[in-house]
Amino acid sequence: SLLFEEHEGSFIVGALAALKSKTGKVGFIGGMDIPLIRRFSLGYEAGAKFINPKISVVNNFIGVTGEAWNNPAKAKELALAQISSGVDIIFVAAGASGSGAFDAIEEKNKLGIGVDSNQNWMKPGFILTSMLKRVDVAVFDTIKAMKSGDFKSGATYFGLENKGVDYSVDEFNDKILSPATRKKAEDLKAQIIAKKIQVPDYYKVPR
């Protein structure tokens, strides 16, 4: 199994959201309400509050069945409600539903954060960044280990330390993310890798 430390990447984009927010209120929209997506939201909130302890984080989930991944209309409705409450940046981890939230973000001239792959291109100028799961790195490293005879079966984890999660910078968000903001993100990454910052993990939090 090639597994990703989603909470670490979510912490970084949460910090970026807090650094960029003008209202002191950011949002998260998840697809199906399951532990995996809670892991995203917990990391995101922790990153935002690390930057600004007083920041308000609004969390919504589209549903509790598989249909939650393919309901853009509901995602748009939730995004519009968050924006009307003062949210100016929304992290969207909702599969195909996410396009609806991005439509709302563009309409209201706010900022969104993509997930898993680089989604900056979907709404150029309106996507602050995307939280990347580097599947390319995971697959390449696995093939490389197989070729060199170092492959071990079982679970392999990909986080910030081995470049398994990250945030995206390209021509679509280059002007939105200032050099100072990126420098702060890189500093936070280094602190997490050095274990100076402990990112809360929903899988390990007592409930």
List, for residues 101-136, the tens digit of each pLDDT value: 999 999 999 999 999 999 999 999 999 999 999 999
pLDDT tens column, 142-199: 999 999 999 999 999 999 999 999 999 999 999 999 999 999 999 999 999 999 999 9
Mean predicted lDDT score pLDDT of the chain = 97
> Tokens representing 71?
């309901």
> Tokens representing 162?
């081995």
Distance of CA 100 to the CA centre of its chain: 17
Is residue 61 predicted with pLDDT exceeding 90? yes
Report, as an integer, the average pLDDT of 60-76: 98
Confidence of residue 205 (pLDDT cuts 50, 70, 90): confident
Helix (H) or strand (E) holding 78: helix 72-84
> Is residue 170 a contact partner of residue 3, using CB atoms and an 8 Å limit?
no
Residue 206: predicted pLDDT: 79
Confidence of residue 13 (pLDDT cuts 50, 70, 90): very high
Report, as an integer, the average pLDDT of 2-16: 97
- Pick from 106, 142, 145: nearest CA to 124: 106
Determine the Cα–Cα distance for residues 74 and 207; give it in Å rounded to an integer. 28
Determine the Cα–Cα distance for residues 168 and 184; give it in Å rounded to an integer. 14
Measured on CA atoms in the order 111, 72, 164, 5, is the torsion positive or negative?
Answer: positive
Helix (H) or strand (E) holding 12: helix 6-20
Is residue 207 predicted with pLDDT exceeding 80? no
Residue 32: predicted pLDDT: 98
- Pick from 67, 120, 125, 124: nearest CA to 92: 120
